[in-house]
Amino acid sequence: MLIILMAWMTVNAAALGGESKRDVSTERSLYDLKVSPNHHFLIHPDGTPFFYLGDTAWELFHRLTLEESERYLEDRRSKDFNVIQAVVLAEPDGLNVPNADGERPLIDNDPTKPNEAYFNHVDAVVDMAAKKGLYIGMLPTWGDKVVKAWGTGPVIFNADNARAYGRYLGSRYQDRWNIIWTLGGDRDPAGHEQVFRAMAEGLREGDGGRHLMTYHPPGERSSSEWFDRDDWLDFNMEQSGHGHKDGANYKMIEADYALTPLKPVIDGEPRYEDHPVAWKPEQFGWFDDYDVRQAAYWAVFAGAAGHTYGCNDIWQFKTPTREPISLARGEWTSSLNLRGAGQMRYLRGLLESRPYLSRVPDQSLLSAPQSDGADHMQATRGDGYALVYFPSGKPASIALDGIAKGPVRAAWYDPRTGAAHEIAVMDGIGHRTFTPPGLPGRGNDWVLVLDAVAKHFGALGESTAQK
């Protein structure tokens, strides 16, 4: 085993569990977003990268008061999330069950007759998020209002009123910078594509094309299946879903990453923390912080432009008075501090601490072919650096050639804490076997960081804001 030359290093205040040091007043997120020139990332107008770190808060507009919304949004801001995915016409009978103010979204469930009082509340939440530097990944409606399949419904949309509703939303939020339109809502659109396309056209007419747009698909599917060649779809979104431990979401990312036309891709609904595996906890147990870390690092290192976290208790904002959905067992206020939620910032910090827009997936760094399953390793590299995710603490041989001309500094990055062990400085040639700290096993995941010494990179987790 390699000798550890340096002990734990604190890489930022967040690594010690302290408050985020990001200054929202100067955060680059206070701009519109666009797709990078290489079509694999999201960027700000000045060309600096935007790492999409989302949280699923589907019921945010429907179930929370403004005071509760403030509590939730502030918690997510402090944990360095920057996108909140929320639904205007919500899933669990969002048309007929009023929001926290007693308001329903539509008059007579007619998409052409929005209830101003309901949308005033949505406005207030969007503006609250903006003050915290947060984008809203806004779903105009959950999919059961277009394609029943399951859920409460009712189906209320056709191509004509979908376009009118989209135009209304686009116009209403055209002056808000912090919107990312997210059509779909967990549904296969086959046979109803024209309804979603009409809604997208309406949104574009209303906001003048200001905001990025994507589509949230059903489980283990991708928006690319139906809309990849549509001009309105700025980036692909996948839902790798909640059906499997060690679900190979990296395969979905790899497939979309290679499509033509090139578009960024994000896993917008991976396995949720504290969700029953395959909805059968008595047989398979519950997803925990390791499961959400594994999904995140697999996806991003496979080429994703960011990642979405989710918690089963939080998306529905479960309370003792609400009937649990999908066997939810925790209260949302306590589940805010589940371990996985706090650990997502370390992924963002790691990626932002190295030249971002040069990054590509590269499995050739791994000397042995990778099989599927819990031990699958995923590698990525950029200008003067490489990152390799070791999911289960087992040793592996890594190719050092091509990372740098000259010596390479190796370190272990802990995805649980954001802290690092430096390993050694070594020649950047040939292959070398690396053995993570601790005993091999599920949950002992690590990231191997290989840096060109000549690049003089800063501490891991500290944003470089490099192009």
34-38, long-range: CB < 8 A, 24+ apart: 34/212, 35/212, 35/234, 35/235, 35/263, 35/264, 36/264, 36/357, 38/262, 38/357
**CATH at 145:** 3.20.20.80
Domains identified in the chain, total number: 2
Q: What percent of the chain has pLDDT over 90?
A: 89
Q: Please say if the pLDDT value at position 196 is more than 50.
A: yes
Across 300-304, 336-340, 365-369, 450-454, least confident range? 365-369
In angstroms, rounded to a whole number, what is the distance separating the alpha carbons of residues 188 and 434? 43
Q: Please say if the pLDDT value at position 3 is more than 70.
A: no
Instruction: Specify if 463 maps to a domain.
Output: no
pLDDT level of residue 258 (50, 70, 90 thresholds): very high
189 with 265, same domain?
A: yes
Location of structure tokens 């950047």: 428
- At 150, the amino acid letter reads W
Instruction: Indicate the residue among 352, 382, 414 that finishes a domain.
Output: 352
Look at strands 179-184 and 213-216 and give their pairing. Answer: parallel
Instruction: Specify if 100 maps to a domain.
Output: yes
326 with 388, same domain?
A: no
pLDDT level of residue 462 (50, 70, 90 thresholds): low
340 with 414, same domain?
A: no
Instruction: Indicate the residue among 296, 329, 352 that finishes a domain.
Output: 352
pLDDT level of residue 1 (50, 70, 90 thresholds): very low
Look at strands 378-382 and 385-390 and give their pairing. Answer: antiparallel
Instruction: Specify if 394 maps to a domain.
Output: yes
411 with 313, same domain?
A: no
264 with 345, same domain?
A: yes
Radius of gyration of the chain, Cα coordinates, nearest whole angstrom: 22
**Residue 404 lies in domain:** 360-455
331 with 428, same domain?
A: no
312 with 334, same domain?
A: yes
**CATH at 422:** 2.60.40
- At 3, the amino acid letter reads I
289 with 392, same domain?
A: no
In angstroms, rounded to a whole number, what is the distance separating the alpha carbons of residues 250 and 295? 8
In angstroms, rounded to a whole number, what is the distance separating the alpha carbons of residues 366 and 369? 7
Q: Tens digit of pLDDT for each residue in 95-147?
A: 999 999 999 999 999 999 999 999 999 999 999 999 999 999 999 999 999 99
Peptide bond into 437 cis (omega under 30): no
Look at strands 265-267 and 236-239 and give their pairing. Answer: parallel
Q: Report yes or no on whether pTM surpasses 0.85.
A: yes
CA dihedral 227, 231, 233, 236 (to 10 degrees): 70
Q: How confident is the model over 262-282, as a mean pLDDT?
A: 98
Q: Please say if the pLDDT value at position 306 is more than 80.
A: yes
264 with 365, same domain?
A: no
Mean pLDDT of the chain: 92
Instruction: Specify if 408 maps to a domain.
Output: yes
223 with 307, same domain?
A: yes
Q: How confident is the model over 441-445, as a mean pLDDT?
A: 97
- Closest of 173, 175, 81 to residue 132, by C-alpha: 81
Instruction: Specify if 466 maps to a domain.
Output: no
Residues 58 and 85 sit within 8 Å (Cβ to Cβ): yes
212 with 319, same domain?
A: yes
Instruction: Specify if 248 maps to a domain.
Output: yes
154 with 303, same domain?
A: yes
Please name the residues in contact with 150: beta carbons below 8 A apart, sequence gap of 6 or more: 144
CA 310 → CA 271, 328, 411, distances in Å? 7, 13, 29
Instruction: Specify if 3 maps to a domain.
Output: no
